[in-house]
Amino acid sequence: MRRALSVACVALLWFPLASCDDDDVDEAREDLEDIAGETGARVAAEAMRGLVLRADEGERRSVATLDDAAEDLPGDPDVSGIADTDGDGLDDDGRVTITVEDQTACLVVREDGETEVSSSAC
């Protein structure tokens, strides 16, 4: 919610910048793109979290659940960090990085099935 409000506020500030010089406009455009990209990564991570939460608690950290959720994400973000090196069917560390443009967010699925999302790299 706070991020959406930030995007709206920055967008409203865009209109007065139309009379500014090119450097000011370019800087404002870069700021808007950064906010939009960060918001996109966080939104994608929250969407993946919602998909993972549909599974039973014991299945939330499974590679199959995480892969299915990653495939179902809208907008085709880059999803990385899903790994099962010991072959038990569960993700090794429960951390999945979602990248949209140059922004990242992190979905953490703990062993007990609880989840959290942060607006930073895992």
Model confidence band, residue 122 (pLDDT cutoffs 50, 70, 90): very high
Structure-token pair, residue 101: 């443009």
Which residue in 73, 70, 78 sits closest to 100, CA to CA?
78
Strand arrangement, sheet containing 115-118: 78-80, 95-100, 103-109, 115-118
**Chain mean pLDDT for the chain:** 83
- % of the chain exceeding 90 in pLDDT: 64
Question: In this predicted structure, what is the pLDDT of residue 2?
Answer: 44
φ/ψ of 95, rounded to 5, equals: -110, 130
User: CB neighbours of 85 closer than 8 A, spacing ≥ 6?
Assistant: 92
Q: In this predicted structure, what is the pLDDT of residue 75?
A: 87
Q: What is the pLDDT of residues 8-38, one digit of tens each?
A: 444 444 444 445 567 777 777 666 556 555 5
pLDDT of residue 21: 64
Strands 95-100 and 78-80: antiparallel
The domain spans of the chain are 2-118
The pLDDT of residue 117: 98
Q: 61 with 109: CB under 8 angstroms? A: yes
- For residues 76 and 105, the model is more confident at 105
**Radius of gyration of the CA atoms of the chain, in A:** 18
